[in-house]
């Protein structure tokens, strides 16, 4: 039995959304149900996803499922930081495959503005190993900056190549009405921007956002009744790596992404070159370059050249993040994976508007939690 995605939706990604987390989720949920033949009562289970350190509400699954009218069906909470909603999709897939449930809604959200910037700053300091690394004052940009530095040293990747990733993403977010940044950024601006963690500068880093996303999965039989354009989950992979930087063996790529990709490709029985359009986790520019290499879109070390040669633009070898990515669309932690899946589903349905990749049949989503801590790869097929 195949499992399909029958509906996707999301809110706009904004710096400050002006609504509560329940309302944010409702907006994404309603957007998803609008175009398909399904009502809340037809959903057998819900999986709510977020990064709890940004939530004020304890155990948000209860609150969200109530507000969406999803009681008394079971509700679950899934967390893997920035890849929480991809984890939710994997759990939902397993529920359907095991015949426990037929229709599962995965709702990811994050209201980054829920807590003060001082509180955010404090939580950021605890993202690393709190016993052996946080006592030195490290946080996400520092971690990715160390990968960037090693990548530049090993492969000759340049700061200009990093900047080109942002230039591309801004071009596409300009075309995405739901994106947070709608301005095209130039290479010069990127290179002149203030330094965050050497060699990463302001435009090399994604921005926090408020937002919610929704993905509804269904069994083959139910899917045909809910929509005329189901998109099939062809492959799904997940892996983990060490939280400690000291235990990592690879400093120029994310091993968890390689492993998750290997699983997903094998299950989908496809090769990297069969992918028509991809969404990868570009929380930092270096992350997109490493993702292209880790997923086999190019050889290790050639990710910088891939973007420099415009091969990741529409019309290139493999269009990547043509919705603006995390860098320009914004990154509401728990909602990000669902938003990436939404982009690929719309591409495969031929509904991507100005950023449609012609004839896209196979799409891939790469969603990472932490600094290569949790790797998730999902392959979808028309």
CA 119 to the chain's CA centroid: 24
Active site residue 151: no
Which of 130, 187 has the CB closer to another protein? 130
Annotated catalytic residue, options 82, 190, 206, 292: 82
Using the rule CB under 8 A, is 247 a contact of another protein?
A: yes
Contact range with another protein by CB under 8 A, out of 78-86, 121-129, 181-189, 336-344: 121-129
- Asked whether the beta carbons of 208 and 200 are under 8 A apart, the reply is no
CB 190 within 8 A of CB 163: yes
374-381 sheet: strands from edge to edge:
75-78, 45-49, 103-111, 210-219, 3-10, 231-240, 374-381, 362-369, 277-279
Pairing of strands 277-279, 362-369: parallel
Which one, 15 or 354, has the nearer CB to another protein?
A: 15
Check binding of 100 to another protein (CB under 8 A). Answer: no
Whole-angstrom Cα distance, residue 375 to residue 326?
16
Q: Does 51 bind another protein (CB under 8 A)?
A: no
Angle at 316 between CA 311 and CA 322, to 5 degrees: 90
- Among the candidate windows 29-37, 41-49, 198-206, 322-330, which touches another protein by CB under 8 A? 198-206
Do residues 85 and 43 touch, judged by C-beta distance below 8 A? no
Q: Taking CB under 8 A as the rule, does residue 116 contact another protein? A: no
Contact by Cβ (8 Å): 15, 348: no
- Which of 15, 69, 132, 266 is in the footprint of another protein by CB under 8 A? 132
Work out which of 19, 73, 134, 263 binds another protein, going by CB under 8 A: 134
Burial of 135 (0-12, 13-18, 19+ CB in 10 A): exposed
Q: Is 156 in the site for another protein (CB under 8 A)?
A: no
With respect to another protein, which residue has the nearer C-beta, 102 or 204? 204
Of residues 69 and 156, the one with the C-beta less far from another protein: 156
How far apart are alpha carbons 362 and 380 in whole angstroms?
A: 6
Q: Minimal distance in Å, beta carbon 192 to another protein?
A: 15
Radius of gyration of the chain (CA): 19
Residue 136 binding another protein, by CB under 8 A: yes
Out of 246, 273, 358, 359, the only residue in the binding site for another protein (CB under 8 A) is 246
Binding residues (CB under 8 A) for another protein: these are 118, 121-122, 124-126, 129-139, 141-142, 145-147, 149-150, 153, 194-200, 244-248, 251
Question: Which positions are annotated as active-site residues?
Answer: 82, 331
């Amino acid at each position: 039995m195949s499992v399909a995605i029958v509906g996707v939706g999301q809110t706009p990604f904004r710096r400050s959304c002006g609504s509560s987390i329940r309302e944010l989720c409702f907006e994404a949920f309603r957007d998803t149900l609008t175009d398909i033949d399904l009502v809340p009562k037809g959903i057998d289970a819900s999986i709510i996803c977020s990064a709890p350190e940004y939530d004020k509400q304890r155990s948000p699954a209860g609150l969200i499922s109530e507000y969406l009218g999803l009681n008394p069906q079971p509700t679950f909470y899934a967390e893997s930081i920035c890849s929480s909603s991809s984890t939710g999709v994997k759990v939902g897939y397993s529920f359907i495959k095991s015949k426990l449930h037929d229709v599962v809604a995965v709702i990811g959200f994050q209201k980054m503005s829920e807590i003060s910037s001082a509180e955010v700053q404090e939580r950021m300091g605890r993202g690393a190993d709190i016993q052996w690394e946080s006592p030195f004052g490290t946080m996400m940009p520092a971690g990715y900056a160390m990968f960037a530095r090693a990548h530049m040293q090993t492969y000759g990747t340049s700061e200009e190549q990093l900047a080109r990733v942002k230039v591309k993403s801004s071009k596409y977010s300009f075309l995405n009405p739901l994106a947070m940044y709608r301005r095209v950024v130039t290479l010069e601006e990127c290179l002149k921007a203030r330094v965050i963690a050497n060699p990463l500068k302001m435009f090399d880093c994604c921005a926090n956002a408020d937002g919610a996303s929704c993905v509804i999965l269904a069994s083959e039989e139910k899917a045909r009744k809910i929509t005329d354009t189901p998109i099939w989950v062809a492959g799904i992979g997940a892996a983990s790596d060490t939280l400690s930087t000291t235990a990592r063996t690879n400093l120029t790529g994310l091993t968890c992404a390689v492993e998750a990709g290997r699983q997903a490709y094998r299950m989908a029985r496809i090769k990297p070159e069969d992918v028509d359009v991809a969404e990868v986790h570009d929380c930092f520019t270096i992350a997109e370059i490493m993702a292209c290499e880790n997923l086999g879109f190019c050889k290790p070390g050639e990710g910088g050249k891939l973007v420099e040669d415009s091969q990741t633009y529409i019309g290139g070898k493999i269009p990547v993040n043509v919705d603006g990515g995390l860098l320009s669309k914004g990154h509401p932690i728990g909602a990000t994976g669902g938003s990436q899946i939404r982009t690929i589903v719309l591409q495969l349905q031929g509904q991507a508007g100005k950023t449609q990749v012609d004839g896209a049949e196979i799409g891939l989503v790469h969603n990472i939690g932490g600094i290569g801590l949790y790797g998730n790869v999902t392959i979808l097929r028309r």
